[in-house]
């Protein structure tokens, strides 16, 4: 019997569980490292702008080079991950990201070189999220896959929080002097650390269990090994492109997941990216107060995500319902955030609490997208599905927030910008409720 596998193959199962833990550690820390060599230019953009005498439009253009190339790369790099070694793809692209980061440090005075390097950075970074999630998906069965993906999702918050702390520490020690050309350390030091970890990923990362002489999830766990969206016969009879067409491009549930993710990315970047300007212009906060509010949002996102990770472990096939509840609450919190800041003199401690709740409700429900994406497709096209859902989110959700938020604010006032965010939160919640029915059918825990 399939569920007797641990008793029938105790040594092999023990070996699998050991590899399972190692795969998670590599995927998690590897993606923390990805952020240590992705956001360096954004964090140092003010110093680079002042040093070179550039304006905000120049910086916006350069940031768009990274955003667009990264968004597009998530799709074709995700598809590549379905066909090649995930371990090698992840390690090579992480090492390439580190090398590009170093080169950026030396060429931060050239607009053309920066544009080229940031495009290249986006291309290689586009492989890292799909590859690391795919590694986890191939080693975790239905019951624990959601919790593992949810736990992995926290890596982006840790990376986002660690890099500015590293740069601030180097600034304090005098390694970086803002508004001068002495900003090389902000690119070199993180890149050296990441390059060293890429070597560890090459040695310890993984592909599918079968590639390492282990048995498949289906063999070890039966129907509880992977989602029941496609039979073994269908997966073997259809070509790779036929599977992509059926389960990615023409899969109604995955298309709805992508639509929900577009809304969630608009919410995430609409709130976070415009928070510094909004809190300065409307709430009349100082730069330090606004930065503290952003920091609180990022840090509280970690325990908030852990709560959703715990829910994923407790209710492995009910995550869509949890996401819906969180997003309905989010609609109200967004409006409360706007109303308490619109007075121009908000209660600052209360504002920090609201920002923390926003962080938890932005990142918590968003990690459910990663879980559903993997669960709604056969595992051998999971990378393509992750990339497809990611590219739509960046090119529509992220770019939409960059343009719609300021246009709404200038034309109708900030209140209506946040009404749009609240409405999108409610839309995403309804989308999750629709997805919940399909999730219950396909995921056997």
Structural domain spans, the chain: 1-215, 229-445
Nearest CA to 373 out of 186, 146, 172, 207 is that of 146
Looking at residue 344, its pLDDT comes to: 77
The domains spanning 1-215 and 229-445 adopt the same CATH topology: yes
- The fourth-level CATH superfamily of domain 229-445 is MFS general substrate transporter like domains (1.20.1250.20)
CA distance 358 to 419: 15
Please name the residues in contact with 404: beta carbons below 8 A apart, sequence gap of 6 or more.
266, 270, 417, 420
Tell how far CA 33 is from the center of its chain: 13
Looking at residue 179, its pLDDT comes to: 45
Burial grade of 325 (CB within 10 A; 0-12, 13-18, 19 or more): middle
Q: What is the CATH number assigned to the segment(s) 1-215?
A: 1.20.1250.20
* Tens digits of pLDDT across the chain (445 residues): 456 888 888 888 999 999 999 999 999 999 999 999 998 888 787 778 888 888 877 887 888 888 889 989 988 998 898 889 999 999 999 999 999 999 999 988 889 999 999 999 999 999 999 999 999 989 999 888 888 988 898 898 888 878 877 877 776 666 554 444 457 888 999 999 999 999 999 999 988 898 888 888 888 988 778 777 766 666 667 787 888 888 889 999 999 999 999 999 999 988 887 887 788 788 888 767 877 887 788 888 889 888 888 888 788 788 899 999 999 999 999 999 999 988 777 889 999 999 999 999 999 898 899 889 988 888 888 888 988 998 899 889 988 887 888 888 888 888 999 999 999 999 999 999 999 988 888 776 5
Report which secondary-structure segment, H or E, holds 202: helix 185-204
Looking at residue 181, its pLDDT comes to: 45
107 φ/ψ angles, rounded to the nearest 5 degrees = -120, 30
């Amino acid at each position: 019997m399939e569920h007797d596998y641990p008793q029938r193959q105790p040594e092999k199962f023990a070996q699998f569980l050991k590899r399972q833990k190692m795969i998670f550690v590599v995927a998690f820390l590897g993606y923390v490292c990805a952020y240590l060599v992705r956001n360096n230019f954004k964090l140092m953009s003010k110093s680079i702008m002042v040093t070179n005498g550039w304006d905000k439009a120049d910086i916006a253009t350069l940031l768009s080079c990274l955003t667009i190339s990264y968004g597009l790369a998530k799709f074709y790099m995700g598809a590549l991950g379905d066909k090649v070694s995930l371990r090698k793809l992840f390690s090579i692209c992480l090492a390439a990201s580190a090398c590009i980061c170093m080169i950026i440090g030396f060429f931060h005075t050239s607009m053309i070189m920066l544009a080229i390097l940031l495009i290249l950075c986006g291309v290689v970074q586009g492989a890292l999220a799909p590859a690391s999630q795919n590694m986890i998906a191939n080693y975790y069965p239905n019951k624990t896959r959601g919790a593992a993906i949810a736990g992995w999702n926290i890596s982006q918050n840790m990376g986002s929080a660690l890099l500015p702390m590293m740069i601030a520490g180097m600034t304090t020690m005098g390694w970086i002097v803002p508004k001068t050309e002495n900003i090389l350390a902000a690119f070199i030091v993180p890149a050296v650390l990441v390059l060293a970890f890429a070597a560890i990923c090459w040695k310890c990362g993984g592909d599918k269990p079968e590639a390492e002489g282990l048995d498949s999830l289906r063999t070890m766990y039966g129907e509880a090994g992977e989602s029941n969206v496609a039979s073994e016969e269908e997966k073997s009879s259809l070509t790779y492109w036929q599977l992509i067409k059926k389960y990615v491009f023409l899969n109604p549930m995955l298309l709805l997941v992508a639509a929900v993710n577009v809304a969630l990315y608009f919410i995430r970047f609409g709130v976070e990216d415009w928070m510094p300007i909004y809190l300065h212009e409307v709430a009349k906060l100082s730069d330090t107060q606004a930065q503290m509010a952003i920091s609180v949002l990022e840090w509280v996102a970690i325990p908030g995500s852990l709560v959703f990770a715990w829910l994923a472990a407790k209710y492995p096939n009910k995550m869509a319902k949890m996401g819906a509840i969180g997003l309905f609450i989010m609609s109200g919190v967004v409006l409360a955030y706007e109303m308490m800041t619109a007075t121009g003199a908000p209660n600052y401690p209360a504002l920090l609490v609201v920002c923390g709740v926003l962080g938890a409700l932005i990142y918590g429900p968003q990690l459910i997208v990663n879980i559903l994406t993997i669960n709604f497709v056969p595992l051998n096209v999971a990378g393509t599905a992750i990339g497809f859902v990611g590219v739509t989110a960046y090119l529509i959700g992220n770019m939409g927030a960059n343009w719609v938020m300021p246009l709404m604010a200038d034309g109708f006032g900030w209140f209506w910008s946040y009404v749009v965010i609240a409405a999108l939160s409610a839309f995403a919640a309804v989308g999750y409720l629709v997805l919940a029915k399909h999730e219950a059918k396909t995921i056997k825990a």
